[in-house]
Amino acid sequence: MPTNTDLLRQIKDDLLTNSKLPLYEYRTANHYFPVIGEGSHEAKLLCVGEAPGETEAKTGRPFCGRAGKILDELFASINLDRSKVYVTNLIKDRPPTNRDPLPYEIEVYGPYLVKQIEIIKPRIVATLGRFSMRFVMEYAGISEPQLSQTISKLHGQVLEGQAPYGPLTVIVLYHPAAAIYNQALKPTLIADFAKIKQYVV
Ligand code: URA
């Protein structure tokens, strides 16, 4: 019986070698790494960002640049050890100039996230930013009217969804990078993040 680590390694191998991925050529031309994810392979909580930035693509590690510093502050604010969580992104390769992911990229990279969710089987997914919010809400069967609401309406909400393996709670958060450009958002992010605490103790 393969372990979660074995199954996650298969995803890594596929991402490393699949030359049909839309950002594969951009990755290899720049000597970047795909950013698969990091943390506990048995995590109760999965955090899903948008796509790697340059620091992440250069190291292969999620949220290790400026946005990662803010994410670390959020973990510290609820006394949660980051190694107990699994942190990943919807898109596994850095988009040029950190532009928004394209629909086709979400279509191709999204199934890798679904596989990761179904291997780790978290009870809670915290979405960081509007792209992962929308994707995970759809995955968890959260429908209208929430599905088409904006992140400024939904942030801080705890939504009860369903995964094939059981109930899945989705917690909607702003992307940590939003607090780099708008310092006033930091207290909101901290207050929203506090909602995670009851699920991870
Ligand atoms: N922003 C993201 O969405 N993910 C990262 O890994 C880093 C920055």
Cβ of 53 closer than 6 Å to ligand 1, yes or no, is: yes
Average pLDDT over residues 155-173: 98
Pocket test for ligand 1, best of 47, 48, 63 (most atoms within 8 A of CB): 63
CA of 185 to the centre of ligand 1 (A): 17
**What's residue 34's pLDDT?**
98
Residues 61-74 have pLDDT tens digits of 999 999 999 999 99
Average pLDDT over residues 135-147: 97
Cβ of 34 closer than 6 Å to ligand 1, yes or no, is: no
Residue 201 has pLDDT above 90, yes or no: no
Cβ of 105 closer than 6 Å to ligand 1, yes or no, is: no
Question: What's the whole-model pTM score?
Answer: 0.97
Domain boundaries, the chain: 4-200
**What's residue 75's pLDDT?**
97
Average pLDDT over residues 102-114: 98
More confident residue, 182 or 201: 182
Residue 96 has pLDDT above 90, yes or no: yes
Pocket test for ligand 1, best of 47, 55, 56, 87 (most atoms within 8 A of CB): 56
Residues 3-55 have pLDDT tens digits of 999 999 999 999 999 999 999 999 999 999 999 999 999 999 999 999 999 99
Cβ of 169 closer than 6 Å to ligand 1, yes or no, is: no
Task: Kindly state which CATH superfamily the domain 4-200 is placed in.
Answer: Uracil-DNA glycosylase-like domain (3.40.470.10)
**What's residue 200's pLDDT?**
87
Q: What is the mean pLDDT of the chain?
A: 97
SS (HEC) of the chain: CCCHHHHHHHHHHHHHHCCCCCCHHHHHHCCCCCCCCEECCCCCEEEEECCCCHHHHHHCCCCCCHHHHHHHHHHHHCCCCHHHCEEEECCCCCCHHHCCCCHHHHHHHHHHHHHHHHHHCCCEEEEECHHHHHHHHHHCCCCCCHHHCCHHHHCCCEEEEEECCEEEEEEEECCCCHHHHCHHHHHHHHHHHHHHHHHHC
Cβ of 50 closer than 6 Å to ligand 1, yes or no, is: yes
Average pLDDT over residues 107-135: 98
**What's residue 174's pLDDT?**
97
Residue 138 has pLDDT above 80, yes or no: yes
